[in-house]
Amino acid sequence: MAPVTGVGEEMHALVERLYPLCRSITGDGVRATLRIVGEYIPLQVHEVPTGTPVLDWTVPEEWNIRDAYIADATGKRVVDFAASSLHVLGYSVPVSATMPLSELRRHLHTLPEHPAWVPYRTSYYRPEWGFCLSQETLDALPEGDYEVRVDSTLADGHLTYAEHVVPGQVSDEVIVSCHVCHPSLANDNLAGIAVAAFLARALAEETPYYTYRFIFAPGTIGAITWLARNAERVEKVKHGLVLACAGDPGRLTYKQSRRGDAEIDRVMRYVLAASERPHSVNEFTPYGYDERQFCSPGFDLGVGSLSRTPYAGYPEYHTSADNPDFVSPRAMADTLAVCREAFGVLDRNRRYLNLSPYGEPQLGRRGLYDSLGGRSDAKQAQLAMLWVLSLSDGEHGLLDVAERSGLPFDTVAAAAGALDTAGLIKA
């Protein structure tokens, strides 16, 4: 795993700052989140009205919440939204009532297997209200009447998402997507947002080959909305990566695209293996994050998903235990480093044509051997040149060369650059 760096600490600070906000698939919590992210990278924010058809879905009503609580007979709040946004069932309709605990129980959600934790629950597409609390809190409630209040609105409004574009040398795009719809969950939401923002900043300091489009959108409905609004230009998307669960202590996990042989799949497999990091590569399944929307048959984009421990793969998933203490600067810095390594390979993985294909060209008289003098890896660099020349047939990319030769990709790319400059190959 990458060492703790300043950027890791900065990402963790962003997670801590975003953590208290109450996010959902719509509403002011999403806007507040994007305003903060916008302090790190410029964002183009989009507002899509309620009722807008998006593929087979419709943009829902906007949900906002000001306060919510359960109070006992003395007026003491035994469950309080102000203490944690997880305490309210997401998209709860307004309620103001007094009822006995026996009636209230059917609106309460707990985790008996983890009695001190509060679960995360939602009810996006059916009118319901409810509260989430620890089993310990529920067990301590005496029978009797309780005041129940959810001060929320569910009305026509907008779905909000944002984009940030890092211009490249070509208009072909790589999309990087993360979801911005979960409330106080540090790993499953905020770590991915932080890594995406700092990845965008890092790419902006370079001159990437591809154009990189970062999408900050609510899960499922946000990706569907983006696809519906970009259906005519989606052919520009050549590669993509969904970031989620990017800060926990587990090993890195890459979930392949539906194709399984997309270039991003090959690049991620290579980079993870070459780095010798502990990792897993999983086959595609149509369940998970928004890779399933981008990979749906009608679009069939080459989009995979990078996480550490996958969704639902750790006990803290969708609970109050997924807090800023659960994610670390070291893990987020490591996830960011892998993304940068992968996009570095993706950006340079081009095919070349040998312009002197009949026999081996004389490298010495072109100064290519002399340029290696004194280098500790001179023999490796010379071998890389020979491999690049051998496989520059217009059919093989530099990743093919690295995989077949067993040489580091950086060495292969440097060899290709030297041969290109010498006029022996062309992209």
- Known binding residues for Zn(2+) are 182, 188, 318
Give residues with Cβ within 8 angstroms of 420, minimum separation 6: 352, 426, 427
Range list of β-strands (E), 325-378: 351-354
**Distance from C-alpha of 265 to C-alpha of 290, rounded to nearest angstrom:** 16
DSSP 3-state assignment of 360?
Answer: coil
The sign one gets for the Cα dihedral 167, 173, 174, 180 is positive
CB of 18 within 8 A of CB of 10? no
- 3-state helix, strand, coil split of the chain in percent (to 5) is 35, 25, 40
CB of 307 within 8 A of CB of 246? yes
Say how many CA atoms lie within 13 Å of 270 toward its Cβ.
Answer: 27
Binding-site residue ranges: 182, 188, 318
Give residues with Cβ within 8 angstroms of 168, minimum separation 6: 207, 208, 209, 210, 211, 212
Amino acid at 35: R
Q: How far apart are the first and last CA of the chain?
A: 35
Question: b or e along 338-362 (b: 16 or more beta carbons within 10 Å of the residue's beta carbon)?
Answer: bbebbbbbbbbbebbebeeeeeebe
CB of 222 within 8 A of CB of 48? no
Question: Phi/psi of residue 282, each to 5°?
Answer: -110, 150
Q: Other C-beta atoms within 10 Å of 13: how many?
A: 13
Q: Is 164 exposed, middle or buried (0-12, 13-18, 19+ CB in 10 A)?
A: buried
Which residue shows structure tokens 């979930």?
A: 255
